Amino acid sequence: MKKPSFTVSSFGRTKYGEKARKFTLNGAGGVVLEVSDYGGKVVRLFTPDKRGKLKDVVVGFDSPAGWDSGDPYWGCIIGRYSNRIANGEFKIGGKKIKLPALNNAPGGIGCNLHGGARGWNAYVWKAEPFIDGTDVGVVFSHVSPDGDEGFPGKVEAKVKYTLTAKNVWRVDYEAMSDAVTPVGMTQHVYFNFKGEAGGTIEDHVMKIAAGKYLPTDAGQIPTGKLKDVAGTPFDFRKGMRIGEMINAPDRDLEIGKGYDHCWVLDPPKSSKSQWREDRRLRYAGDVFCPLNGRGVAVWTTEPCMQVYTANWASYDQTAKGGEHLSFRCGVALETQHAPDSPNKPKWPTTLLKPGEKFSSTTEFRFMAK
C-alpha cells in the first residue's frame, strides 16, 4: 500500500471569469483521481487492471474551456436538482414555482435540466484537500442564493470526494436550505474502461439491480408509471452487453436515442414499498470492459439510477489528449431520486425543509476481473 498524497495546480479560467484549480489525488490503493474545483469535474481517473497497470477511464477535458465549449456536464457535480422537471414547473404548498425550461427533446414541451442554465456544475466551488489516515480527498462547498435559477431558498451545499485504500471513490453530499426547495445532487462522470479515445461503450457489460424502470413521454419526463424490465431491453439484472439491445425497436429507446432512463433500484425484500426508502448504502449495479477487465461497482443510498450512454452529446467537443467525442463514448451512472419528483407526490420526496439536512452517499468501487 502506498502513502496517500495530493497535489494542487492551476487549471485556467472558466467562461464566467473564475479561476479554477485542479487537485490530483493519489489513493493508497493505486487509483489516481484528478478533479477540478470547477463544479467538481473529473479530469482524469486512472484505475488498475489485474496486473496493476493504470488507465484513464473517464471522459474529461484539459481546461475549463473544454467543458465551456459544449455540453458542460461531463464528470461534474449536478445541482440543485439533477435531471428533469417537466415544463420547469412545480408547486410548493400550493404556490407555483416557475424555472427556466431550456431543455427540450424532440416532441417535448421543454423542461428544467440539471439545475438550469447555470447549474452548480458551472461554479468554482470552495475546495479543501485533505489526508485522513489512508484516505485522501477534497471537500467542495458552494452557496446557492435564494432565487438561483428560479429555485426558492438559499442552499449551502457540501460534496466530499474521498479516495480510499480499497480503490473506492466515495462521494458524500450534504445540503441545508433556509426555505423549502427541491434538492437532488449527483455525479455525472462518464466511464469508458477502454481508456481515452476508447470509442463506444457498447461492448461494456452492465448489471443493474432493478426490476423496474421509468418510461417517459417524448420530452423524457417519466409518465408516472413503473414498468417491469422483464422481457424488455431494460433488463440488466443478470448482466448484458450495453450494445446488445440498445438499437432494438422500442419506444423508450427511441425517445432516449439509446439508454437515457431512470431505473428504480430494487428495495430490500422485506420492504413493502417499490422504492429504496431506508437510505442504506446498497449495490446499484456495475459496468465492466470485457477486453481489459477494468470496471466499477456502484453502491448508493439513493433509490434510483439514471443510466445515460451519451446519446445526445455534442460531438464538436475535443476532450483531453485530442479525443474527439463520439456517439456513446461513455456511460454515466447517475445515482439520484426519480426525475420530475417535485411533480410526482407519491414518489420519494426531494423537498428539503429548513432545519433538515440533505445527505446522500454514492461509492464507485473500482475493480478488475
Contact 25, 138 (CB under 8 A): yes
Smallest distance from the beta carbon of 220 to ligand BGC, in angstroms? 6
Tell me how many residues contact ligand BGC (CB under 6 A). Answer: 7
Q: Which contiguous run of DSSP H or E holds residue 155?
A: strand 155-163
Which has the closest alpha carbon to 175: 357, 362, 363? 357
Q: Which is nearer to ligand BGC, 27 or 330 (CB)?
A: 330
The Cα–Cα gap between 136 and 48 comes to 18
Phi, psi at 64, each rounded to 5°: -55, -35
Q: Which is nearer to ligand BGC, 30 or 219 (CB)?
A: 219
Which has the closest alpha carbon to 330: 106, 74, 83, 62? 74
Question: Residue 342 CA to chain centroid, in angstroms?
Answer: 19
Which has the closest alpha carbon to 350: 81, 1, 142, 115? 81
Q: Which is nearer to ligand BGC, 71 or 196 (CB)?
A: 71
Known catalytic residue at 188: yes
**234 is an interface residue for ligand BGC by CB under 6 A:** no
Q: Which is nearer to ligand BGC, 334 or 363 (CB)?
A: 334
Phi, psi at 320, each rounded to 5°: -55, 150
Residues 6+ apart with CB under 8 A from 298: 283, 284, 285, 286, 305, 333, 335, 362, 363, 364, 365
Binding-site string for ligand BGC from residue 316 to residue 335, where x marks contact by CB under 6 A and - marks none: ------------------x-
Q: Residue 6 burial (CB < 10 Å; 0-12/13-18/19+)?
A: middle
**362 is an interface residue for ligand BGC by CB under 6 A:** no
Catalytic residue (one of 34, 114, 174, 188): 188
Q: Which is nearer to ligand BGC, 32 or 229 (CB)?
A: 229
**73 is an interface residue for ligand BGC by CB under 6 A:** yes
Known catalytic residue at 337: no
Q: Which is nearer to ligand BGC, 163 or 307 (CB)?
A: 307
**Angle at the Cα of 314 from the Cα atoms of 48 and 234, rounded to 5 degrees:** 65
Contact region with ligand BGC (CB under 6 A), list: 27-35, 139-147, 197-205, 304-312: 304-312
**312 is an interface residue for ligand BGC by CB under 6 A:** yes
**71 is an interface residue for ligand BGC by CB under 6 A:** yes
Contact region with ligand BGC (CB under 6 A), list: 87-95, 137-145, 306-314, 321-329: 306-314
**302 is an interface residue for ligand BGC by CB under 6 A:** no
**306 is an interface residue for ligand BGC by CB under 6 A:** yes
Contact region with ligand BGC (CB under 6 A), list: 208-216, 278-286, 305-313, 361-369: 305-313
Task: Report cis status (omega within 30 of 0) of the bond before 279.
Answer: no
The Cα–Cα gap between 175 and 166 comes to 27
Residue 267 in grid coordinates: 428495495
**260 is an interface residue for ligand BGC by CB under 6 A:** yes
Binding-site string for ligand BGC from residue 334 to residue 353, where x marks contact by CB under 6 A and - marks none: x-------------------
Catalytic residue (one of 149, 174, 302, 334): 334
Smallest distance from the beta carbon of 114 to ligand BGC, in angstroms? 6
Smallest distance from the beta carbon of 33 to ligand BGC, in angstroms? 20
Contact 31, 191 (CB under 8 A): no
Residues 6+ apart with CB under 8 A from 231: none
The cell 449536478 sits on which residue?
Answer: 78
Q: Which is nearer to ligand BGC, 163 or 304 (CB)?
A: 304
Smallest distance from the beta carbon of 330 to ligand BGC, in angstroms? 10
Q: Which residues bind ligand BGC (CB under 6 A)?
A: 71, 73, 260, 306, 308, 312, 334
**Catalytic residue IDs:** 188, 334
